[in-house]
Amino acid sequence: MRDILEEDKNQEREDFLANLGFLSNKYLSVHLARYVHTMGHIPYGEYLRNGDYSTALEMGSTYIFPKWMIERLGFAQVDVTDFRDTVPAGLSEHAIETAKGPVPCRRFNINLESDPIPVADETYDLVLCFEVIEHLEVDPMFMLCEINRILKPGGCLYLSTPNSISGRNVFKILNGYAPHFFMKYSKEATLYRHNIEYAPHQVLAMGKAAGFSVRKFWTADTFENTIPEALEILERNGFSTDHRGDNMLVVLEKESDVIERYPAAIYY
C-alpha cells in the first residue's frame, strides 16, 4: 500500500511539472527523476522545530519549487535568488509567470559568493539550495554563512549536490574515464559547469562549520540509473557501499552562529 501511495505522489509531481511545460524543455526533461525525488522530500511540518512554516528562499531558482511549495505545501511566501537576466533554464516566460504562484516572489539578483542576501536576519523558516554549490567558484562558505544569518533559529536548509564518490563515479574511474559530471567545456562557451563536486564528509563538514546540525542525510541515483556492478565491485573488495547514490541530499537545522569560516575539509 505504501508503494502505491508513493507512486501516486510521484505521478502528482510529474503531472505538476508537465503542466509547467517541463517535459518540453530538453534540460529539465532529462532531470525529471531528480526533480520528482527532490520535491518529495522538501522539509515542512515535521522537520521544523516549532511545526510552523510559512517563508522560504530558494537559491538559484528555476521558479518551479516556489510554485509547488505555495500551491501544495501551504507556504505563504517563497523568494528566490537568480543572478541571470534571462529566463532560467530555457523555461518560457509564461512558465515563469505561472510558477510564481498566487503570491509574487521577491527575486534577488546577486552573486552568492560575494553579495549579502538583501533581507533581515532570521527572515526564513526554510532555505532550498538544489544543485547550486557545485557551481560556485571561490567561496561556498560565504553562501552558507549568509544562509545561517537569514534562517530563523531551528530553521532548515535543504541542499542537494552531485556525489563525487558515487558508485557510478567509481565505475567510471575503474574503466578509465573521468568521474565527475560536466567534465567537458561547452561549445557555447557558457560558465554553467561544475567547478567542484563534493564527497559526503565535505558537505557535512561545511554544514557543521556554518552552524548546522544534520537532520537527515542520504544519497540517491537521481541523475542516471543505478549501476549494480559498481556496488558489487565495492562490496567484493571490502569497501563500503553506503552513500553511493549519484546525488547527495541533506536537511540541515540551524543550531548556532557560524562556527568556522574556512573549514579545512574544503579550504587550504
Along the 268 residues of the chain, how does pLDDT read in single tens digits? 445 556 778 899 999 998 888 888 777 788 899 999 999 999 765 555 555 668 999 998 878 899 898 888 888 889 999 866 544 444 444 445 544 554 557 889 999 999 999 999 999 999 999 999 999 999 999 999 999 999 999 999 999 999 999 999 999 999 999 888 766 777 776 667 788 999 999 999 999 999 999 999 999 999 999 999 999 999 999 999 999 999 999 999 999 999 999 999 999 9
Asked whether residue 209 is domain-assigned, the answer is yes
- Predicted pLDDT at 88: 45
Asked whether residue 207 is domain-assigned, the answer is yes
Residue 145 CA, distance from chain mean position: 17
Asked whether residue 185 is domain-assigned, the answer is no
| 121-161 pLDDT per residue, tens | 999 999 999 999 999 999 999 999 999 999 999 999 999 99
Write the DSSP assignment of 18-36 as a string of letters.
HHTTGGGSHHHHHTHHHHH
Asked whether residue 113 is domain-assigned, the answer is yes
- Predicted pLDDT at 29: 82
pTM of the model: 0.88
State the alpha helices, DSSP H only, in 52-199: 65-72, 93-99, 140-150, 167-174
- Predicted pLDDT at 182: 66
Cα distances (Å, whole numbers) of residue 138 to 59, 126, 209, 266:
17, 25, 17, 11
Asked whether residue 234 is domain-assigned, the answer is no
- Residue 175: CB atoms within 10 Å: 7
**Helical packing angle, 140-150 and 200-209, nearest 10°:** 50
Domain with 125 in it: what CATH number?
3.40.50.150
Instruction: Give the β-pairing of 247-254 and 151-162.
Output: antiparallel
Asked whether residue 174 is domain-assigned, the answer is no
- Number of folded domains in the chain? 1
Residue pair 156/47 in contact by the 8 Å Cβ criterion: yes
- pLDDT, the chain, mean: 86
From the list 133, 168, 134, 161, the residue with the least C-alpha distance to 147 is: 133
End-to-end CA distance of the chain: 50
Domain range enclosing 54: 2-163+196-223+245-254
Asked whether residue 61 is domain-assigned, the answer is yes
| 99-114 pLDDT per residue, tens | 455 455 788 999 999 9
Using a 10 angstrom Cβ sphere, with 0-12 exposed, 13-18 middle and 19 or more buried, the burial of residue 14 is middle
State the alpha helices, DSSP H only, in 84-224: 93-99, 140-150, 167-174, 200-209
Cell 543572478 sits on residue: 83
150 φ, ψ to 5°? -90, -10
State the alpha helices, DSSP H only, in 156-257: 167-174, 200-209, 228-236
- Predicted pLDDT at 48: 52
- Predicted pLDDT at 86: 45
Asked whether residue 169 is domain-assigned, the answer is no
